[in-house]
Structure 1
Amino acid sequence: MKNITIYHNPACGSSRNTLALIRHIGIEPQVIHYLENPPSEATLRELLSAMRFTPRQLLRTNVPEFLSCGLDNEGLDDDTIINAMLTHPILINRPIVVTNNGVRLCRPPEVFLDISPMPLLRDFVKENGDVIVARK
């Protein structure tokens, strides 16, 4: 079985579609509901490094915590942003998927195909009716 981990929020359409896409391919991933079980600081830093993201690139800006934590200040250092993400995991953008082929923020869900250990053999229909066409 292929080892895949998804940092998932079931309230997020992109996260639900990515999880469904992984399952559609035939893999049951380890699902981490990161709002209830946030990553440790070391894990968050490893994920950022593997994605080659800065903390600001992974930061959600459309939630109230963004402003209440003062994260709209462009001059904040990485440690401050990471500490805010650890305190308020809703600030971490999702879904993040980890496979042996890499780590990606899967927005849109099709990004998962870049690191999938198995090909998409059948078209996949997202919740909104959009189709991800199987790669031939």
Structure 2
Amino acid sequence: MPRIKEKLGDRSLGVAKDLGKRLGKKTSGHRAAAQPPWTLYYNPHCGTCLKVKERLESRGVQPKIVEYMKDPLSVKTLERILKKMGLGPAAITRFKEPFWMEKALDPDRLGRKEWLEMLAEHPFLIQRPIVETKERAVVARPPEETDSLFSEQ
């Protein structure tokens, strides 16, 4: 479309609409409102993750799937998720993991930056599943936790 606009100026929208009509497509002068992006931070071996994926799909949401064990989350991504939750790193940490207990880590002594770096380096410590939308994020345990996200639409 940029090339059309370059050649036709302000008439480009009318040309695009006309082309759409000739191709049998409904067009309007306005773009359709896009569904807010949904991201599911997911482990395919987790039963709860599978239930959440099915729950979202049954409500018409096709989330972007991030297998965070294969593609670990960055500190920046973790910060964004926590900001949307309005919580600290403890909200997404799996404290029952043997690694956590073997290291005898004390949450009260871990700085936020150090904690997030640890989660980024050891993704198995991240609670799952996490569902993120444009405005909010939740740990979807139980899967019904996702219901509150639908009020955004």
Shorter-chain TM range is: 0.7 to 0.9
Shift of 1:71: 2.3
- Identical amino acids, percent of aligned pairs: 29
Partner AA of 2:67 in structure 1: H
* SS of aligned partner of 1:116: helix
Whether 1:65 aligns to 2:65 is no
**TM-score, scaled relative to structure 1:** 0.78
Equivalent residue runs for 1:9-28 within 5 Å: 9-28=43-62
Given that 1:5 and 1:99 are in contact with CA atoms closer than 8 Å, whether structure 2 keeps it comes out as yes
Match of 2:87 in 1: 53
Which of 118, 136, 142 in structure 2 is aligned with 1:102? 136
Once the two structures are superposed, what CA deviation does each residue of 1:65-108 show, in whole Å capped at 9, x if it has no partner? 21244424532222221111111001111111112352111111
Q: Which runs of 5+ in 2 are unaligned?
A: 1-33
Partner AA of 2:124 in structure 1: I
Match of 1:75 in 2: 109
Q: Which runs of 5+ in 1 are unaligned?
A: 120-136
More strand, by proportion: 1
- CA distance in structure 1 between the partners assigned to 2:120 and 2:67 by the alignment: 14
Shift of 1:43: 0.9
Once the two structures are superposed, what CA deviation does each residue of 1:9-64 show, in whole Å capped at 9, x if it has no partner? 11222211111100111221100000111111111111111101211221101212
Partner AA of 1:27 in structure 2: V
* SS of aligned partner of 1:7: strand
Equivalent residue runs for 1:1-40 within 5 Å: 2=35, 3-40=37-74
Paired residues, number: 119
**TM-score, scaled relative to structure 2:** 0.70
Rg larger for: 2
RMSD of aligned Cα (Å) = 2.0
